């Protein structure tokens, strides 16, 4: 009799565990479905805008050839190392990754109606004059193409405007994503000790995908100890140059870029992680039912890369007592409409509850009635008007900061 009772108890116990496991698995699946839905852009491209961009891009190869004849080179991006096999192989060869391009080299960038922009990289491969390293850094900017002057010459951008009153170190590179921002913050903030750091996000940074957790920049900068600079320092205790392995990698990357001019589609995709690894990431991402909690309990969350970037900004500024800002700049509803923007700005805005030493600057309202005027005449980067808007608001915030 006792054995039967125990047997029935075991059946009920394990049956309950099994049913609860099925329910929990269904909730995890539902949480994933919610994430996929939230990450879907529900707005269709505007045909007029697509046609303008497509027609204008036909003129750019001839302009680029003229720039090459003048000694300028095409630019590669750190994002290529994560996505393209040809660049990814250099990581395996040199065991390091770049955050900039080749130092002291002339590059052409892009054209969205203002002419093909050009610059000469500084000694660390960024769009700065080398003279900025002769004195302390007032402002460090971290971002992607939007804060790499977009498709304007620098004097017409908010970066160029800030340079008139501040010593600005701009570490933004085209096509960077939040993992790159985190890597830049980790490497450069402790070395150059800026008074202010500004990390600039835009709609392209709302990446809620397993690729952020398998990012090779995460592996290189957060899981391995890689020497990024040589030991030599200048009179301000700033690093003088890159590690030799990194310089060799940059030369090889530039050779690949030159070889594939006009044949970007011929690059092969980098190897993806295994399906088993992806399943593990899925469960590790959704076991807390993050997205369901956001809907039903109004609990805030951030995509993995965004949280890592803000965490690095917060930690490193806390160490050196710098003022840390992060901003959201919306994209155009004409050039590339995106339904996810309001959700993204809301999530970013809520992040300063966790990172209470960070100040959030939201430009959404500033651009609300400037959809075409604030953006380039032939593309989605900021216009001269848009840059002035950003400069004016940043100046208000920075002027309130004690130096």
Distance (Å, whole) CA 204 – CA 192: 28
pLDDT above 70 coverage of the chain, percent: 98
- pLDDT at residue 210 tops 90: no
SS3 364: coil
Report pLDDT for 226.
Answer: 80
Encoded tokens for 388: 């002035």
pLDDT mean across residues, the chain: 93
Please, which pLDDT band fits residue 237 given cuts at 50, 70 and 90? very high
The DSSP call for residue 382 is B
Residue 14, pLDDT score: 80
- Is the per-residue pLDDT at 403 higher than 60? no
- Above 90 in pLDDT, residue 383? yes
Confidence tier at 7 by pLDDT (50, 70, 90): low
Residue pair 198/325 in contact (Cβ under 8 Å)? The answer is yes
Summarised one tens digit per residue, pLDDT across range 270-321 is 988 888 888 899 899 999 999 999 999 999 999 999 999 999 999 999 999 9
What band does 238 get if pLDDT is binned at 50, 70 and 90? very high
Q: What is the pLDDT of residues 142-195, one digit of tens each?
A: 999 999 999 999 999 999 999 999 999 999 999 999 999 999 999 999 999 999
pLDDT band for position 352 (cuts 50, 70, 90): confident
More confidently predicted of 344 and 2? 344
Residue 1 tokens read as 């009799």
Of the pLDDT bands very low, low, confident and very high (cuts 50, 70, 90), residue 3 is low
Q: Which CATH superfamily hosts domain 39-46+129-240+269-399?
A: SGNH hydrolase (3.40.50.1110)
Q: Which residue ranges make up each domain of the chain?
A: 39-46+129-240+269-399
Q: What is the pLDDT of residue 133?
A: 97
Rounded to an integer, the average pLDDT of 103-131 is 97
Identify the helix (H) or strand (E) that includes residue 329.
strand 323-329
Q: Give φ, ψ of 108 to 5 degrees.
A: -105, 155
Its pTM stands at 0.95
Instruction: Quick: pLDDT tens for 135-156.
Output: 999 999 999 999 999 999 999 9
51: Cα separation from own chain's centroid: 27
Report the alpha-carbon distance of residue 305 to residue 312 in Å, rounded: 11
Asked if pLDDT for residue 1 goes beyond 80, the answer is: no
- 3-state SS assignment for residue 197: strand
- Beta bridge partner(s), residue 118: 108
């Amino acid at each position: 009799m006792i054995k039967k009772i125990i047997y029935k108890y075991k059946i009920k116990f394990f049956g309950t565990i099994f049913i609860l496991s099925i329910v929990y698995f269904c909730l995890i699946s539902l949480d994933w479905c919610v994430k996929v839905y939230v990450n879907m852009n529900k707005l269709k491209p505007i045909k007029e805008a697509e046609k303008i961009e497509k027609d204008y891009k036909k003129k750019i190869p001839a302009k680029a050839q003229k720039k090459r004849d003048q000694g300028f080179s095409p630019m590669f991006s750190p994002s290529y190392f994560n996505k393209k096999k040809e660049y990814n192989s250099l990581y395996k060869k040199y065991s390091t990754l770049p955050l900039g391009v080749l130092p002291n080299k002339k590059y052409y960038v892009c054209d969205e109606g203002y002419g093909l922009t050009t610059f000469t990289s500084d000694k660390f491969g960024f769009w700065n004059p080398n003279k900025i390293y002769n004195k302390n850094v007032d402002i460090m900017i971290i971002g992607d193409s939007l804060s790499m002057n977009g498709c304007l010459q620098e004097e017409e951008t908010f970066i160029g405007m800030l340079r008139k009153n501040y010593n600005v170190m701009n570490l933004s590179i085209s096509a960077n994503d939040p993992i790159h921002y985190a890597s830049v913050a980790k490497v450069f903030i402790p070395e150059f000790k800026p008074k202010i750091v500004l990390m600039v996000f835009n709609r392209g940074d709302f990446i809620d995908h397993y690729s952020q957790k398998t990012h090779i920049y995460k592996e290189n900068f957060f899981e391995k100890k890689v020497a990024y600079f040589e030991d030599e320092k200048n009179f301000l205790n700033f690093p003088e140059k890159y590690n030799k392995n990194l310089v060799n990698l940059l030369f090889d990357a530039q050779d690949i870029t030159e070889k594939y001019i006009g044949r970007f589609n011929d690059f092969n995709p980098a190897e993806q992680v295994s399906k088993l690894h992806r399943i593990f990431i899925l469960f590790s991402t959704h076991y807390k039912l993050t997205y369901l909690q956001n809907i039903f309990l109004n609990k805030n969350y951030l995509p993995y890369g965004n949280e890592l970037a803000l965490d690095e900004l917060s930690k490193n500024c806390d160490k050196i007592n710098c003022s840390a800002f992060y901003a959201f700049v919306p994209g155009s509803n004409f050039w590339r409409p995106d339904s996810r923007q309001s959700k993204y700005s809301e999530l970013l805005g809520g992040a300063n509850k966790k990172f209470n030493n960070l100040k959030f600057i939201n430009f959404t309202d500033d651009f609300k009635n400037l959809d075409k005027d604030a953006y380039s005449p032939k593309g989605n980067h900021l216009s001269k008007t848009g840059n002035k808007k950003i400069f004016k608001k940043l100046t208000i915030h920075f002027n309130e900061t004690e130096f």
